[in-house]
Amino acid sequence: MRAATERLYPAPGLAWRQIQSKIERITVPLLILIGWEAFSRSGYLPPALLPPPSAVLAALADWMFAIDGSTQDYAGTWIRHVLASSSRVAAGFGIAALIGVIIGTGIGWSRFIEKTVEPTLQMLRPIPPVSWIPLAIIWFGIADKPAIFLVFLGSFFPILMNTIHGVKTIDRNLIRAGAMMGASERQLLWNVVVPAALPSIFAGLRIGVGSAWMLTVTAEMVAVKSGVGYVLWDTYYFLRYDMVIASMVSIGLLGYLSDIAIKLLMNRVLRWQRASTIQSREG
């Protein structure tokens, strides 16, 4: 409705206001980049220790497209490493999402499951996933598996906790309404409880995907021989700080993109919420 009115009566200077808001957004990052470039070129630090953004960009471009071979063995390998890391994130995060939602729904719904299962999980939860690295390596060796295991550990708990919270805070009357319409317990879970908990579940997924990238990179530094985290650590040994920073940038970009992917999925699945969110009021 609102979009239609806007089209009928375009506000004066709308295009200019959009440009203005874009300028507001990019001013600070641009200033940081310029300052960094200037500082690196000033010679205050040896350029090798803090490469300017232009050098990072050049390294990244060569790593991606093998332009001038300046990244040597790594030239043109970016996509391979990105895919290696992404597949670990996807596997670990996917398993965590599946198991986290199932167990979380169980704990939130049933007193019995809560009593029997939750204490164990709560005792495991404070152990930082990174501290599992030695065991992960001796159990799974040096390959994809320990990384997937760590990613799973890192994203499982946020998904689990948010699912439990979502299920426990459901409006009781929704369950009553479902039962009134003849839902069996299984139908209630599938048709009422899980959909009602979805906003919380998605909050957990978004936190979870963040930890997933953190742990992939950590695992790749120690226990795997491919992936963006591996490149970061390996180039550090060769004093290629432009590549280190290019890896950091790549990880940031991937994390950002996966968050956007989940957000897009969330907006689709939770489109029923649209009318009641603050964002839509801001238009």
Q: Contact residues for another protein (CB under 8 A)?
A: 171, 173-174, 176-183, 187, 191-192, 195-196, 198, 270-276
> 123: exposed, middle or buried (C-beta count within 10 Å: 0-12, 13-18, 19+)?
exposed
Return the number of the residue (121 or 196) whose C-beta is nearest another protein.
196
User: How far apart, in Å, are the Cα atoms of 147 and each of 88, 217, 228?
Assistant: 7, 9, 13
Of residues 123 and 186, the one with the C-beta less far from another protein: 186
Nearer CB in complex with another protein: 68/185: 185
**Residue 225 DSSP SS3:** coil
Helices (H) and strands (E) in the chain, counts: 13, 0
> Rounded to whole angstroms, how far apart are CA atoms 166 and 200?
5
Q: How far apart are CA 189 and CA 183, in angstroms?
A: 9
Minimum distance from CB of 89 to another protein (Å)?
28
DSSP state of 10: P
Which are the contacts of 10, defined by CB distance < 8 A and separation ≥ 6?
Answer: none
Residue 72 CB, nearest distance to another protein (Å)?
53
Helix 53-65 vs helix 14-41: crossing angle, to nearest 10:
100
Q: Give, in order, the Cα–Cα distances in Å from 224 to each of 74, 84, 137, 146.
A: 16, 10, 9, 8
User: To the nearest whole angstrom, how small is the minimum distance from the Cβ of residue 200 to another protein?
Assistant: 13
Nearest distance from C-beta of residue 171 to another protein, angstroms? 7
The residue among 73 and 282 lying less far from another protein, judged by its C-beta, is 282
Smallest distance, another protein to C-beta of residue 127, A: 35
Q: How far apart are CA 13 and CA 203, in angstroms?
A: 37
Q: Which is nearer to another protein, 117 or 174 (CB)?
A: 174
C-beta closer to another protein: residue 49 or 111:
111
